[in-house]
Chain A
Amino acid sequence: MKGIKSYSAVLFFVLAGIVLLSIYGLLYGDIDTNFQDLYHALIDYSNEDMDQVIIREIRLPRILMAIISGAALSIAGMLMQTLFQNPLAGPYVLGINSGSSLMVALGLLSGIGFFNSELGLIGSALLGAFVFGLFILFTASFLRNQISLLLFGVMLGSFVSSIITILEVGSQAEALKAFTLWSMGSLNGVTIEQIPMISMVFIGTCFLTIFIVKPLNILVLGEDEVRLMGYNIKKLRILIVFVTAVFTGLITAFCGPIAFVGLAVPNLTRMLFRTQNHLLLFFGNLLFGAFFLLSCDIVTQLFSEVLIIPINALTSLIGAPFVIYILISKLR
Chain B
Amino acid sequence: MIYLKNIAVGFDKELFSVNEAVFNKGGVHVLTGKNGIGKSAFLLTLAGLIKPLKGVISLNDKMLKIYSSKELSSHIAYVSSNPKGVSFLSVDSYLMLGRSNFTNIFGKASETDIKEVEKAKSLFGIHHLSEKFTNQLSSGELQLCAIAKAYVQQTDYILLDEPTSHLDYANKRKVYELLDVLCKEHNKGIIISTHDLELAFKFPFEFYVIQSQERMFNEVKNFKDVEKEFSH
**Chain A interface residues toward B at CB < 8 A:** 210-211, 213-214, 217-218, 220-222, 224-225, 227-232, 270, 273-279
Which residues of A lie under 8 Å from residue B139 when comparing CB positions? none
B68 interface hit (Cβ, 8 Å): yes
Most chain A beta-carbon neighbours within 10 Å: one of B49, B78, B107: B107
Once A220-B86, A230-B101, A276-B93 are accepted as A-B contacts, the answer to whether A214 and B107 lie under 8 Å apart by CB is: yes
Min CB distance A310 to B, Å, is: 34
Q: A276–B89 contact, CB under 8 A?
A: yes
Q: B86–A276 contact, CB under 8 A?
A: yes
Which residues of B lie under 8 Å from residue A229 when comparing CB positions? 73, 97, 100-101
Which residues of A lie under 8 Å from residue B69 when comparing CB positions? 227, 230-232
CA separation between A277 and B92, bound complex, in Å?
12
Which residues of A lie under 8 Å from residue B105 when comparing CB positions? 211, 214
Min CB distance A266 to B, Å, is: 12
Write the chain B residue with the least CB distance to A271. Answer: B88
**Selected contact of A228 from candidates B47, B71, B89, CB within 8 Å:** B47
Write the chain B residue with the least CB distance to A216. Answer: B107
Most chain B beta-carbon neighbours within 10 Å: one of A211, A222, A224, A229: A229
Known: A222-B84, A276-B88. 6 other contacts (CB 8 A): A218-B100, A220-B86, A220-B89, A230-B101, A277-B107, A279-B106
Which residues of B lie under 8 Å from residue A270 when comparing CB positions? 87-88
CA separation between A231 and B74, bound complex, in Å?
12
**Selected contact of B49 from candidates A211, A224, A232, CB within 8 Å:** A224
Write the chain A residue with the least CB distance to B97. Answer: A218
CA separation between A214 and B105, bound complex, in Å?
7
Q: B84–A221 contact, CB under 8 A?
A: yes
CA separation between A252 and B41, bound complex, in Å?
45
CA separation between A214 and B68, bound complex, in Å?
19
Once A230-B101, A274-B88 are accepted as A-B contacts, the answer to whether A279 and B107 lie under 8 Å apart by CB is: yes
CA separation between A273 and B87, bound complex, in Å?
12
Q: A214–B106 contact, CB under 8 A?
A: yes
Within 8 A of A (CB), among B87-140: 87-90, 93-94, 97, 100-101, 103, 105-107, 133
Q: B78–A277 contact, CB under 8 A?
A: no
CA separation between A229 and B101, bound complex, in Å?
7
CA separation between A275 and B94, bound complex, in Å?
11
B72 interface hit (Cβ, 8 Å): yes
Min CB distance B84 to A, Å, is: 6
Once A221-B97, A275-B88, A276-B93 are accepted as A-B contacts, the answer to whether A228 and B73 lie under 8 Å apart by CB is: yes
Min CB distance B143 to A, Å, is: 14
Contacts A/B (CB < 8 Å), 28 sampled: A211-B105, A213-B107, A214-B106, A217-B93, A217-B97, A218-B97, A220-B86, A221-B84, A222-B84, A227-B49, A228-B73, A228-B78, A229-B73, A229-B97, A229-B100, A230-B70, A230-B71, A230-B72, A230-B100, A230-B101, A231-B70, A232-B69, A270-B88, A275-B88, A275-B90, A276-B93, A277-B93, A277-B107
